[in-house]
Amino acid sequence: MSKKDWKSSLTDEQYRVLRKKGTERPFSGEHNFNFKKGKYFCAGCGAELFSSTSKFDAGCGWPSFYEAALGKNVKEVLDKSHGMIRTEVVCANCEGHLGHVFNDGPNPTGLRYCINSVSLNFDEEE
């Protein structure tokens, strides 16, 4: 999609995070304290990314998951911005910025996918 197409299909905040690699303020996102059963999808393209079964409260201020629902839908990219070396996670389908993954999560993976709420749409199980 073109920049114009992305701008017309996303909110200003979604565009800032997904396309410009921004981040939302901690504890401000709608999915941070959502522990309902369901699936999380990319707000940019609709690809399935995470399941509520792997969501946990990391206390960091962003929704956290210990694994991606479909590993092939989440891509890891080396991030050397802001004077740090981190692992960025993006949607493998649309390259939208989701957040970062860290090695301080719970078992069984030891990972913490720290994800911006505005990068996600939630579909609750009935």
The answer to whether 94 is a known catalytic residue is no
Q: Which two tokens stand for residue 98?
A: 């989701």
Cα 26 from Cα 108, distance rounded (Å): 25
Find the catalytic residue in 42, 45, 60, 114: 114
Biggest CA-to-CA distance, the chain: 44
Tokens of 9: 């299909």
Indicate which residues carry an active-site annotation. Answer: 114
